[in-house]
Every structure is written in C-alpha cells, then in structure tokens.
Amino acid sequence: MGLKVGSESSGSRFDAYVEAVISALGHADRAVPFRSYCTGLLLPGDRKSVEPMAARVEPARVQAAHQSLHHFVAKAEWSDDAVLAAVRELVLPIMARQGPIRAFIVDDTGMPKKGKHSVGVARQYCGQLGKQDNCQVAVSVSAANDHASLPLAYRLYLPQAWADDPARRTKAAVPEDIVFQTKPQIALDQLRAAVANGTDAEVVLADAGYGNDTDFRSGITELGLAYVVGVMSSTSVWAPGTEPLPPKPWSGNGRPTSAIRRDAGHQPVSAKQMALGLPKKAWRKLTWREGTNTKLASRFAAARVRPAHRDYQRNTPRPEEWCLIEWPAGEAEPTKYFLSTLPENISRRDLVNTTKLRWRIERDYQDLKQELGLGHYEGRGWQGFHHHATLCIAAYGFLISERGALPPSGQRQTLCFKKSSLPNSYRPRGSTDPA
C-alpha cells in the first residue's frame, strides 16, 4: 500500500500513513494514541518524553493525554515487530523509487542516563559522548540506498550484569527469553530476520566494533551476503600471494593431522604491516561524495588477502577477500582498515563508494535523536524503551516518505503540523511554582 502524495497537504498524507500502520497495533483503541504519539514526536519541542508531548498535542487536557500516551507506550501489549514490519512495507518501496536498496547497515547508539535503574543502564562506551559513561546502548540494522536509510530493527543491548540479575530483570520486566548476547550476536539475529522477511540488499556495512568479530563476518557469509566491515590495524592477514602451510604429511605413525600450519618463518602479518609494505603506486586518491562544504576525498589502497585469525584450527585457508586501507594525505600512517567479500572484479572506486555508504547510519541517528527524541524516553522498563523507539522509527518513516515525494535534488519539505499553544496553567512536573 502506498501513500498518496499528489496535491494533498502533508497533514492528510500523515493521516493516510497512520491509517496504513494502525492495523499492526492489534486493537482499534490504539489508533488515537498512536497518532497522537507520532504527532508529538514530529512537532517542534526540546523534549519528546511523554508529558511534554501530551501538553503540545492536547493542551486543553494535558493530564488525560499524558495518561493515555503513557499507557500506550509503557503498558499496552502491541508488537514492535509488527509495527516495524508495517513501516518497512510502506517506506521501502518509496525509497526504492530513487534507487534500489544497496546495503544493510549495522550500528549501535548510546543514550546517556544519570540514574542506574533504567533497563540496561551501565557504565559503557557511549558514542554520543565519545567516552565511557553511564548509558543505555541499542543495536540496529538499517536498509539504505544512496538517498535514504530506514531502521529495520532496534534492540537494547543488555549487559551481562543485567542479564544475570533476576531482581533487576523483574523490576524492568525483561522478557524471560532475553539472555545475554554480544552486540555482534544481536546484529546477526537482526540480519537473519531481515533476510527472512524478504528485504533485499547486496552487502552488510559495519564498523570495527562488529568487523573484528570473526564469527560475525562468518555469519554474514552464511546468510549469502557480502560485507564491508571495519577492522583494527592489528588484524592478522596473509599478505597478497601468501597463505598458510598445508597440513603436515603423515609419517605413518599416530593420527594424521589435517590442520593448516604456520612456523617460525611463515607467519601472517598485521593489516598495518601489510599496508606499510605496499608500493607507492598502490595508493590512489578517490572522491566518494559531496560533503557540506567540499567533496570528500582520501587516498586508498586495496589488496587481496586472507584473514588469518585462528586459521590454524581450520583444514583449509580462508578465501581471499579485499583489504581496503585509507591513508589521508598529511597523516603519518593509514587511519582506517576494512575487510570485504565484495567481488574480486569490483573497481576500487565502487569498493570505496560502497564502504562510505555507512555515513547514512549517522544521519539516521542524528534525525532520530535530534528531531524525534529517540533518547528522551524517561521510563525504566524494557517494553516502554522499545515501544518508544518503534514509534520514533515510525515517525521517521513518515519523514522518509515525505522526502521520497521529491526528486533527489529537491529541497527538504517542511511538514504542515501546527504547534499548539500551551495553556497558561501548564507546569511540567517537578518545576517550580511561579506563584
């Protein structure tokens, strides 16, 4: 089902969008709070938590609206997966009008928290702050083309201290089937679901937090997908033209060995060692897209290597794949390393363009956080955390569908949502009484 975009106002298109999604909520009574919550997310405002949104959406009955929205996001038993599926079915065809879906982009995002009771909160790395701090972290997979990207799945990372604590699990209503998983394990489950749901993409993109995990890369290959993933400079590889030694010939005594080998004079090297050993002619300056003020360009080299991590436990060497290295002019050494299973005959320009498509996830999170309040939810429970994120993604899907009504060179639309004036008597909970 598509959205009508002709001469209608964005408000009527929003009504059509909401009507198309509400069937996934499972109960007709949820249609009104769903529309109100998404409207609150799309309206201007510094905070997109429940009470401020209720005041903006229904200023004449703030308390009743607050209770309705709070119940809808924190208590109502509707399916996040069903709503995200409805959004996906509406929005991906609109995205595809401007080009096929090219990639699944894996990433995670951190939301700083001051307290310790919100589900999943722990001292861990928070990308928003650029350091270790108290935060929640969620893992997502987005479908992307050159013009837009849409989150397909979004799940809280539950640190092991939380996963193994029955009291905290009960208080936050964490489902029994949620056990500790690493972020790459969560992402692989999300990718399996995306493939099972019939979403087509040719490649998975991820940063080194995922690419360093050999099992994650192997899992992508088992799904029949290619990947371009960041890795550390210390990642061990067999340099071009080298590979492990074959198994030792059987001497006739004992059990024959079948594992490939290394010895003192035959070892893999780090990606950095390999890169520094490449000739000067291996490096080429390439431009991949227009930035805010200038074209984005850097120097790149690409070599065919074999990943070497624990391959002495294997019977055969790992297949060759690309190692793409970025070395910006003026830097003392290369700054970024990637492994890729894209075809051997791909051009270096296409390899770089695909690698750099990962910037789309930064736009996802920027819009979801700054425009739609992804990190503003103030509840502490598992269900409310995920319901709020699903509703943010639903609202974001509408924004994508609005942009899809324009040609790629068109200007961004301004939505026709009128901001209601707050009543003079409105005072947020916890604020000082001006009297």
C-beta separation of 377 from 154 below 8 A: no
Report the percent of the chain where pLDDT is more than 90: 73
User: Which of 434, 418, 394, 387 shows the shortest CA–CA distance to 59?
Assistant: 418
Are the CB atoms for 208 and 271 separated by under 8 Å? Answer: no
pLDDT per position as a tens digit, 225-257: 999 999 999 999 999 999 999 888 876 677 777
Among 334, 218, 332, residue whose Cα is nearest residue 270 = 334
Backbone angles phi, psi at 311, to 5 degrees: -75, -10
- Read off the pLDDT of residues 315-353 as tens digits, 9 standing for 90 and up: 999 999 999 999 999 999 999 999 999 999 999 999 999
Cα 274 from Cα 405, distance rounded (Å): 47
Q: Provide the pLDDT for residue 424.
A: 53
Compute the distance between CA of residue 257 and CA of residue 253 in angstroms, rounded to an integer.
11
Q: Identify the helix (H) or strand (E) that includes residue 403.
A: helix 382-404
pLDDT of residue 426: 47
Q: How far apart are the first and last CA of the chain?
A: 53
**Model confidence band, residue 412 (pLDDT cutoffs 50, 70, 90):** very low
Mean pLDDT of the chain: 89
Q: Which two tokens stand for residue 98?
A: 């401007």
* Rounded Cα–Cα distance for residues 109 and 214 (Å): 22
Write down the residue that tokens 């229904």 correspond to: 58
What is the tens place of the pLDDT at every residue in 418-430? 544 445 554 554 4
- The predicted structure's pLDDT at residue 428: 52
The DSSP letter of residue 316 is: S
Residue extents of the structural domains in the chain: 10-207+361-404, 217-244+264-356
Q: Cite the DSSP H helix spans in 58-149.
A: 62-74, 80-96
Express each pLDDT in 350-390 by its tens digit. Answer: 999 999 999 989 888 899 998 999 999 999 999 999 999 99
Place of tokens 């009470």: 51
Task: List residues bridging with 326 in a β-sheet.
Answer: 300, 336
How far is residue 329's CA from residue 351's CA, in Å, rounded to a whole number? 19
Does residue 111 register a pLDDT over 70? yes
